[in-house]
Amino acid sequence: AHVASLEGIAPEDQVLLMAGTPLEDEASLGQCGVEALSTLEVAGRMLGGKVHGSLARAGKVRGQTPKVAKQEKKKKKTGRAKRRMQYNRRFVNVVPTFGKKKGPNANS
C-alpha cells in the first residue's frame, strides 16, 4: 500500500524480487528464504516474459529459414580427371585481366 501511494503502482501489479528472482505472492517471507538484512526489490509487473542470456535465441536463424529440397547434381570427378580439370581451369583457359585476381567462388 505504501509503494502504491508513492509510485502509483497498484498492489496487484507489484512484484517482490530477491536476488533477481520473483517471490511467490501467497508465500510468507520466511517460506521464500528471506533472512534478516536481505535486500528486497519492488518492481512493477511487465507484459511478456523475462529473457535470460542468449539461450532464448539459440537456433533462431536456422529455425526461420525455409527448407529447400536438395537438387540432383553430377558426380564430381576424381583422380587424374580432377587434376586435368584443375590444370585446364588454372593455366589453359586463363583470360588475362587487369587488377586483383578474384577467387573461384566470387559472384561479381
CATH number, domain containing residue 37:
3.10.20.90
Q: Is residue 73 part of a domain?
A: no
Q: How many residues does the chain have?
A: 108
In a domain, 6, yes or no: yes
Tens digits of per-residue pLDDT, 33-78?
666 766 767 776 666 666 666 677 788 888 899 999 999 999 999 9
Average pLDDT along the chain: 78
- For 64, the enclosing helix (H) or strand (E) is helix 60-64
Q: Is residue 53 domain-resident?
A: no
**88 — pLDDT class (breaks 50, 70, 90):** very high
12 belongs to a structural domain? yes
Range of the domain at 8: 2-44
- The answer to whether residue 55 is domain-embedded is no
User: How far is it, in rounded angstroms, from Cα 68 to Cα 66?
Assistant: 6
Q: Which residue has the higher pLDDT, 17 or 25?
A: 17
The domain tally of the chain equals: 1
Write down the pTM of the prediction: 0.36
Q: How many CB atoms neighbour CB 50 within 10 A?
A: 9
Whether 20 maps to a domain, the answer reads: yes
27 within domain boundaries: yes
State the pLDDT at residue 32: 65
Residue 81 lies in a domain: no
